[in-house]
Structure 1
Amino acid sequence: MKLVRYGAEGAEKPGMMVGDTLHDLSGVVDDIAGDVLSDAGLARLRALAPSDLPVVAGNPRLGPCVGSIGKMLCIGLNYSDHAAEAGMPIPEHPILFMKATSAIVGPNDDVMIPRGSTNTDWEVELGVVIGTRAKHVSAAQALDHVAGYCIVNDVSERHYQTGLTGQWTKGKSCDTFGPTGPWLVTRDAVPDPQALDMWLDVNGERRQTGSTATMIFTVAQIIEHLSGLMTLHPGDVISTGTPPGVGMGMKPHPVYLQAGDVMELGIAGLGKQRQALVQED
């Protein structure tokens, strides 16, 4: 099942994709959020007959596929080959940083290069959406707490991330730095989150090619670790790291995004995103 949120920014409605057809769910649920993400909530939606749901005409904007995201938790250096290109050692435990929820935008919204930035970079990542409260869960039980999966572009400003005093969050939380979607693919439709191919292009040129099979810490291990530190709530999103090919790691010198560039990215079974780069005034 593919769940979406569509419409103007801040006024998105819930929807369901059936094939290439978007159906409206606003007569059934208020949003793709909260209890709707529980096993019972998703079972209710799964039981609906698409023919009974209104068809949404045209090609509306898609918003972030999850509403009312409480926190976006991000895992750094979670692919061994990406750690190598960054010149960083393999972490012993998942590296955690936060991305401000104000950074989250739709999958095809413009991405804004911050004023004065010269080091804005791309990162295709698997997003994990929590469906039921998780606290001190084991890796064996972890995926039972997942509502589904989506694409996240963990856009990063590298100078802000590493050159300004503080934590990575500074370079990860600029406005528009969290495109999320296009849709939430429910857990039952993703048999193995560790077997998903992923890619990212800049201006039609392939930059990243990878697979979740090469994660250092699996989705289940990440949830086990994080739920031992804090309670994970329905609608929380975990962005699980990126494969190699980011601009920071390009040889012989880094290559960063500029206004007018276009990013396209995708993960097998989870759709794709497209963002144009614009300069902040």
Structure 2
Amino acid sequence: MTINCKGELIDLSSPKIMGILNITPNSFFDGGKYKTDNAFLSHAEQMIKDGADFIDVGAYSSKPSAEFVSEQEEIERIVPIIELLQREFPKTHLSIDTFRAGVARATVEAGASIINDIAAGHLDSEMLPTVGELQVPYIMMHMRGNPQTMQSMTQYTDLVKEMNIYFSERVAKAREYKINDIVLDPGFGFAKTLEQNYELMSKMELFSSFELPILVGISRKSMIYKLFDITPQEALNGTTVLNTIALQKGAHILRVHDVKEAVQTREIIKQLSI
């Protein structure tokens, strides 16, 4: 199982680690922590040294209480950082966390390799045609509504069955636009209650029927810290436990804040299969 990143075939038969680089001032875990070019570069460099295979860059927080950011402001925030990272780390593949086609186009033209869309094209009708034209891998996530409304849309008759229907429709639509490399993201924490997140994790292997790579992003999320009544800063241990389970259930990419710990988790899982 491979994806084509700017002409390089990335083999996902060995799971990959995607480090998170938030350039938003209000992300739930590290918002505002990195404010200068040097800070962004230093953090990216550390993640690369720790073993990140991809860096996922986001300029618009998707947490429920995040304020609106215009498309132009999102582009102005993120494109200079993409250009900076490409200049300093040209061999590192950059993923862009956006649901806007205009941002996708601007960042790929600046050197990004992957588009990571929380809305699977639902929030911008031009996203799928744009990604098809750009011919980059596309991560499509399961979500209902938008970041402001998703937590009021958690009523399911059969969570996994309805998610399978959702992905079947979105994959078919993506194929219409000649999107070749598709990655599925179950969307932990998006339009799902705490209990539904754990149900989803327990049944995650059921998505293997699509024969597509699966990305899991549970790093320091509320399904961990609300369970124990702790803060996101205290949720690394729970993150590692869930990343371990995700790998055992077939995850191909882990999207994480803590790269070193995720790499160690992956290596231990590899030893179990030797």
Give TM-score, length-normalised by structure 1.
Answer: 0.23
By relative contact order (CA 8 Å, sep 6+), the higher-ranking structure is 1
Q: Name whichever structure is richer in helix by fraction.
A: 2
Of the two, which has the highest radius of gyration?
Answer: 1
The structure with more strand, counted as a fraction of residues? 1
Compute the TM-score of the two structures, normalised by the length of structure 2: 0.23
